[in-house]
Structure 1
Amino acid sequence: MSFNALYTDLSGYYDVMCEDIDYRAQSNAVQRLHQIFGNGGNLHLDVACGTGPHVRHFIDNGYVSSGLDINQPMLDIAATRCPEAQFTCQDMGNFQVSDPQDLITCFLYSIHYSDGIEKLKACIESAHSALMSGGVFCFNAVDKDKIDNNLFVSHTVKKADNAFTFRSGWHYSGCGEKQALKLSIAKTNACDTQVWNDEHPMVAVSFAELITLLEPCFEVHVFEHNFEAITPWNTTSGNAIFACVKIQPPTVVATGQSTCC
């Protein structure tokens, strides 16, 4: 068994790794939230869009959808999957749009790829600036205070003569604004097993802290992490869906800096 880096670029394996994700259910749930809280528009941007599976579902349901990601190889796959959409290579911590959007999404806990509070604040500011009045910023998040470092999620997918086993889990030290997403990929065939391990730095934030960051500029609605039903957050679970409605423009103070978010 070798423990060297199995893949230098995950873009070609991303869809295999995420094969068990119900993109349709996630997209439909957010569209229901947008119908309830949104402004009636159909311009949509998916932040950290990866290879574009969510964008595909939004387009199929009548949205004018686009996406951004920091990984160009993934965007190349997304462009093939969604030739109608525009994709741009941008950092989610500081992105811009050519036209204001009615809905901005960030699925799969990707909001945590802001690897510190300041970058998370910048991401929230970018989303606020990119939205129409009454637009919705929707994402899912994990509460740092509810993380079980021993909990890992795993699944196995067979492709041709190979079996891929994917494991992921959150790790938080218990203090500070940094946590990690630990990933492991094992590729097994008749000859051997190769293992690739990685650890992605992520921002650690409690839901109380996150709501405090959002509330200056957004009307914040929090729901249980259930894509089959819209259920208000019970205030104790550590995974939730946030639907944030743009309620005001940023306030500019004497220094020229925005007080929003």
Structure 2
Amino acid sequence: MDNKQEILRLLRSVADGTTAPEDALLELKESPFEDLGYAKVDFHRSVRQGAAEVIYGAGKTPEQIAGIVSAMGERGCRNILITRVSQEAADRVAESVPLEYHLLAKLAVAFPAERKQRGNIVVATGGTSDMPVAEEAALTAEAMGNRVTRLYDVGVAGLHRLLSNLDVLMRARCVIAVAGMEGALASVVGGLVDCPVIAVPTSVGYGASFGGLSALLSMLNSCASGCSVVNIDNGFGAGYLASRINQMEGLED
């Protein structure tokens, strides 16, 4: 049982008498998670949070990833995200389950399925070197059913590139601003749009950028209101949060 609709189906079947309350209780008891020994797969994540559990691929063997994904697929989960996974590991997992792999973002989608794309999230980068993190954010949001527009290499070193896309930015429900170096892009975007801005500092930059710490501190100190910050290189976290903002109840496509 992987989503709210399945629980509602079960409850309605109890209400109309096709399922005994005792059988429904047993199904609910069995559904929260499955213990695989090396992982406890959380099948109620989508009920609580609106999206299935995401697999962090780094540090897991291909066999472990395949086992987790297979267990989720058997419960009907689709568009299962696997983050920070290598090409080699993804190729081995793909031998046992349907898988789409995106090399730039080091992200895979298991049991890929079509989803209605809602709203509009804009993912913007300061430079081309920020694209791996930006793609992790964009692909995460797309897998969760969001329409995504990419604006890459529009940093403050050539501000006219960003300003030529004001119409795109101002139509967005949420903007993800991905930048390294001094991380100025988030503040500039935050001063232009009327929607939430999620700032993603990247580890791109020379020595004094301290592996993204400089961009992180700049973004945390942004004077633009409505700008929040995720961790360094955390494209997944930004894409997930943007999806929640974009799909808030009451917003129209």
Give the TM-score, by structure 2 length.
Answer: 0.33
Give the TM-score, by structure 1 length.
Answer: 0.32
Considering Cα pairs closer than 8 Å and 6+ residues apart, tell me whether 1 or 2 has the greater RCO: 1
Higher helix share: 2
